[in-house]
């Protein structure tokens, strides 16, 4: 929730001169995203979000992210459409940083999604997967099973400090995941981070999927597993089976899961929980005590790992 790069009105005018969007009529920093600087930008041509890329997002990945968004917008899946500048490029430069101007989508992010919203996001996730079939660009998932030990193992002591006994549990999880991680599932471009705050709703209708800066190529069912973690747990850590049923049914209303996808959903869900546990643990370790911005709690995902450890089949998730 910060704006790292603020632009002067002259810098903004210089940037807009590279586009066919007219003059700025409104420009406000948005307290959104921890990775980039985002601005509400209204021009004579409409409303947009200007994103200036800060750390973490690699410049070489930008064409992939932008092409994903543009492809979805063209297929009618509600993702922001990146504007092309006068050179036809999907991103530009400002203050020596890469930036992009994407369409502003209406809608409000649900803080505590209801069952109908879980169903709706499941359907949109499947629409996204189908809409991106045939995309020739690819980007490996840098935060998959091979990356987790490197993030977690150097911080096992911290894990045990956060909750005594946790180090042994997650070591066992890592071993189990390395052994059981499925190969050869149907794959394609996945969002990989479709949390409620990366969606926009009007009532129960999903109006927007946003923040594609973790998108990558991986098993499609893994994306559903991320959503089961992000959408279907209650604040105190219990899995809500009704929400799980709705999410999976919504997904399958557009793209039915294969037998192998159903069979591997528990290990995929456990892996998805490990992915977020791992990065949250690393962020926690790197944040100085007393910092203004408190990192997200790794224990939320330690709790979810506990649920997945005991899950036996897709039925435990409502599938």
User: Could you list the residues that contact its own copies (CB under 8 A)?
Assistant: 1-3, 8-10, 12, 23-32, 40, 42, 104, 106-112, 200-203, 291-293
3-state secondary structure of 251: helix
Q: Are strands 205-209 and 24-30 parallel, antiparallel or unpaired?
A: unpaired
Q: Looking at beta carbons only, is 5 or 137 nearer to its own copies? A: 5
Nearest distance, CB of residue 101 and its own copies, angstroms: 15
Q: Looking at beta carbons only, is 32 or 218 nearer to its own copies? A: 32
CA distance linking residue 221 with residue 126, whole number of Å: 10
Q: Looking at beta carbons only, is 83 or 200 nearer to its own copies? A: 200
3-state secondary structure of 238: coil
CA distance linking residue 67 with residue 82, whole number of Å: 8
Residue 309 neighbours by CB distance under 10 Å: 14
Q: Looking at beta carbons only, is 18 or 217 nearer to its own copies? A: 18
Using CA of residue 44, residue 76, residue 201, residue 294, what is the dihedral sign? negative
CA distance linking residue 170 with residue 305, whole number of Å: 8
Nearest distance, CB of residue 198 and its own copies, angstroms: 13
Q: Looking at beta carbons only, is 30 or 57 nearer to its own copies? A: 30
Nearest distance, CB of residue 56 and its own copies, angstroms: 18
CA distance linking residue 178 with residue 239, whole number of Å: 24
Q: Looking at beta carbons only, is 40 or 180 nearer to its own copies? A: 40
Nearest distance, CB of residue 207 and its own copies, angstroms: 9
Size of the chain, expressed as the number of residues it contains = 319
Nearest distance, CB of residue 155 and its own copies, angstroms: 23
DSSP designation for 256: P
CA distance linking residue 152 with residue 297, whole number of Å: 15
Residue matched to tokens 């492809």: 71
Q: Looking at beta carbons only, is 159 or 210 nearer to its own copies? A: 210
Nearest distance, CB of residue 90 and its own copies, angstroms: 23
| Contact assessment for residue 268 and residue 141, using Cβ atoms and an 8 Å cutoff | no
CA distance linking residue 83 with residue 20, whole number of Å: 9
Query: What values do phi and psi take at 85, rounded to 5?
Result: -80, 180
Identify the burial level of 176 via C-beta atoms within 10 angstroms of its C-beta, where 0-12 means exposed, 13-18 middle and 19 or more buried: middle
Nearest distance, CB of residue 6 and its own copies, angstroms: 8
Q: Looking at beta carbons only, is 19 or 104 nearer to its own copies? A: 104
């Amino acid at each position: 929730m910060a704006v790292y790069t603020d632009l002067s009105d002259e810098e903004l005018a210089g940037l807009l001169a590279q586009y066919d969007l007219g003059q700025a009529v409104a420009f406000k920093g948005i307290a959104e995203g921890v990775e980039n600087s985002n601005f509400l930008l209204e021009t004579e041509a409409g409303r947009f979000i200007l994103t200036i890329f800060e750390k973490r997002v690699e410049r070489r990945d930008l064409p992939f992210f932008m092409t994903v968004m543009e492809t979805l917008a063209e297929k009618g899946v509600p993702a922001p459409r990146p504007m092309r500048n006068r050179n036809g490029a999907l991103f530009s430069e400002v203050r020596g940083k890469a930036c992009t101007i994407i369409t502003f989508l209406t809608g409000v992010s649900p803080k505590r999604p209801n069952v109908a919203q879980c169903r709706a996001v499941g359907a949109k996730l499947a629409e996204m997967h189908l809409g991106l079939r045939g995309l020739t660009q690819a980007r490996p998932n840098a935060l998959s099973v091979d990356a987790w030990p490197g993030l977690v193992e150097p911080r096992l002591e911290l894990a045990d400090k956060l909750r005594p006994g946790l180090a042994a549990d997650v070591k066992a999880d890592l071993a189990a995941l390395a052994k059981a991680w499925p190969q050869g599932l149907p794959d394609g471009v996945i969002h990989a981070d479709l949390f409620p705050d990366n969606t926009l709703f009007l009532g129960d209708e999903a109006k927007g999927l946003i923040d594609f800066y973790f998108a990558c190529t991986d098993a499609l069912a893994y994306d559903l597993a991320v959503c089961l973690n992000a959408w279907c747990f209650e604040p105190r850590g219990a899995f809500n089976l009704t929400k799980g049923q709705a999410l999976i049914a919504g997904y399958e209303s557009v793209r039915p899961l294969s037998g192998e996808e159903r069979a591997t959903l528990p290990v995929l869900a456990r892996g998805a929980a490990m992915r977020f546990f791992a990065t949250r643990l690393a962020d926690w370790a790197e944040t100085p005590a007393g910092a203004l911005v408190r990192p997200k709690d790794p224990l939320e995902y330690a709790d979810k790992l506990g649920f997945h450890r005991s899950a036996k089949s897709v039925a435990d998730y409502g599938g």
